[in-house]
Structure 1
Amino acid sequence: MAERTLKIQNKLGLHARASARFVSEASRFACEISLLKDDIEVNGKSIMGIMMLAAGKGTTLTLRAVGKDEQMALDSIEALVNDRFGEGE
């Protein structure tokens, strides 16, 4: 199991388009991926779960991955978040 702490940086947070990009990226990997906010843990490959977190700009989340490609998954998803989901703001 591996974990990373992420901070949502894009202006609109994890809205529908950003959540879809997150799920699309997470689905590229075989490992199990989950996202945690406070006491809530959701499947990182579920758009409904991700949107349920209501993670706005500045929200700190924990990204967890379990499986053979967990490090690659964390690196890739962290890069997506740090790039503000390609939204520029």
Structure 2
Amino acid sequence: MKLTRQVVVKNKLGLHARPATKLVELAQQFDAELSIIDGEKTASAASVMGLLVLASAQGSTLTIVSEGADAEAALDAVQALVEANFNEE
């Protein structure tokens, strides 16, 4: 089952190295394939470099795509992390 959800990046510096690392570490906890889409660009949530290439700034709307046994739990966790500004502020 493939699930999608949209979230808005609210933290000042966007999806830079620290938040990208937190997102990858979080994604690894679930039995799910997670992809992050920003506009025309897509990255695996398993790749810090891939996430950095998205260059998602404050205000960017990200689409999270989750597929696998833990798809919904993974979506919930990623959404909570983004909405908590990656625990940065």
Same topology, TM > 0.5: yes
The DSSP-based 3-state class of the residue aligned with 2:78 is: helix
Show the counterpart of 2:20. Answer: 19
- Partner Cα distance (2:79, 2:15) in 1: 14
Name the SS for the 1:12 alignment partner.
coil
Helix, strand or coil at the partner of 2:23: helix
- Deviation at 1:81? 0.4
Question: How high is the TM-score relative to the length of structure 2?
Answer: 0.96
How many residues are treated as equivalent by the alignment?
A: 88
Over residues 24-78 of structure 1, what are the superposed CA-to-partner deviations in whole Å (9 max), with x where a residue is unaligned?
1111111110001112111111000000000010001100000010000000010
Structure 2 Cα separation of the partners of residues 44 and 58 of structure 1: 19
| Percentage of matched positions with identical amino acids | 38
Residues 22-37 of structure 1 aligned to structure 2 (within 5 Å): 22-37=23-38
What CA RMSD, in Å, does the superposition of the two structures yield over aligned residues?
Answer: 0.6
Where do 1:1-89 residues align within 5 Å?
Answer: 1-88=2-89
Moved over 6 A (4+): none
One-letter amino acid matched to 2:22: R
